[in-house]
Amino acid sequence: MNPIILLLDDSKENLDVMQRMLKGLPGMESINSVIFSAGHEALVWCRENEPDICIVDYNMPGMNGIEFLVEVRKLPRFKGIPMVMVTGSSDSELRQLALVSGANDFVTRPVNPDDFKVRLCNLLTLRMSLVNPLGRVERLAHDVELLSRQTIEREHEQIIFKLSQLSTARDEETGNHMHRVAHIARLIAKQLGQDEQFCDMIYLAAPMHDIGKVGIPDKILLKPGKLSPEEWGIMKTHTTIGHEVLKDSSSSLLRMGADIAHSHHEKYNGQGYPRGLVGAKIPLVGRIVAVADELDALLSVRPYKQAWTLKDVLEQMRQERGRHFDPDCIDVMLRNIDAVLEIQKRFSDFSEMSLSNVRPLQRGIG
């Protein structure tokens, strides 16, 4: 890989230090860096060019780092480009503001070179994988199979979440959305009486529910308004794409991921997609993840909607009991709503999740 890295800092000394740390990044054949000392100059360059990662100082005259992040994230090509904020301040409010404004990571000076290189490699690996996301999914799936044979549980979990991030990196869902869905799915499974192995498996497999979105064109996936019937038909194919990528794996975990990807948009009354399955014919993992995913989606802000209030979310899901959702899954979720909300709080996206009194804007056609 030969990534392009944008460095923005008003200090020449800091820029020199960063350039030295960029040398010899593991897995990178060479690094092409573009250097700016002023935010407005970097922004002009970004309007015509596309780096693979931006490393941005916070405290600069004129346009500071936060202001640069806000402006550059408005550019269409910069949605999936990692942004790293660097500052000498350890202020937690500044860290939160940076993340809300579009930063993917936050580094405090003095920068530890080894830690910095690891973080940068992780972000660059994800960024470069988006050049061929379906191919990357297949390679990561192969890695999971190898790890499952070796039972290296912690690395197994990390690769699963990295694989799942390929879908969230291209739309407005966040890594924390995946974590919330995973934890809520495990909670529901446990309360349904499933054994520990099943609960651990669904925790790891649930984040793969939307992995098929890597095959959906940006013009549809990122469209802020209502989808046309033709666009909606294409959007729905993310269920079958995800299933096809994972279904033939020798890993039982990835096969569970395939079932979830295929069935999490089925409805209990048979009115869902892609197969129109009814009731218990829908895999249990799909019925569980459908509840976890919908709950989190309704409580979260998206480009096409505002967050619902908790009261409205629970009322909506009660009304859909036995229609959209498995009654047992809904009943378990409602009985354990305090634990569910604790998960929402623990993995919140700062400004993303809201319980304000806002109704949704409509998306899609069905």
Task: Give the pLDDT confidence of 27-63 residue by residue, as tens digits.
Answer: 566 778 999 999 999 999 999 998 989 999 999 999 9
Mean predicted confidence (pLDDT) in 133-145: 54
Written as six digits, the tokens of 287 are: 């019925």
Distance CA 185, CA 281 (A): 19
Cα-based torsion angle of the residue sequence 106, 112, 116, 119 in order, rounded to the nearest 10 degrees: -70
pLDDT confidence band for 176 (50 / 70 / 90): confident
CATH 1.10.3210.10 residue window(s) in the chain: 133-346
User: How confident is the prediction for the chain on average, in pLDDT?
Assistant: 82
CATH superfamily ID and name for 4-129: Response regulator (3.40.50.2300)
pLDDT confidence band for 364 (50 / 70 / 90): very low
CATH 3.40.50.2300 residue window(s) in the chain: 4-129
Higher pLDDT, 216 or 236: 236
pLDDT tens by residue, 294-308: 999 998 876 566 789
Asked whether the bond before 26 is cis by omega within 30 degrees of 0, the reply is no
Residue appearing with tokens 């935010």: 39
Distance CA 224, CA 306 (A): 12
pLDDT confidence band for 67 (50 / 70 / 90): very high
Mean predicted confidence (pLDDT) in 161-180: 64
User: Do the Cβ atoms of 330 and 318 come closer than 8 Å?
Assistant: yes
Is pLDDT at 127 greater than 90 in this prediction? no
Residue 91: other Cβ atoms inside 10 A: 12
Phi, psi of 115 (to 5 degrees): -65, -40
Written as six digits, the tokens of 5 are: 């890295």
CATH topology for the 133-346 domain: Hypothetical protein af1432 (1.10.3210)
Phi, psi of 231 (to 5 degrees): -65, -40
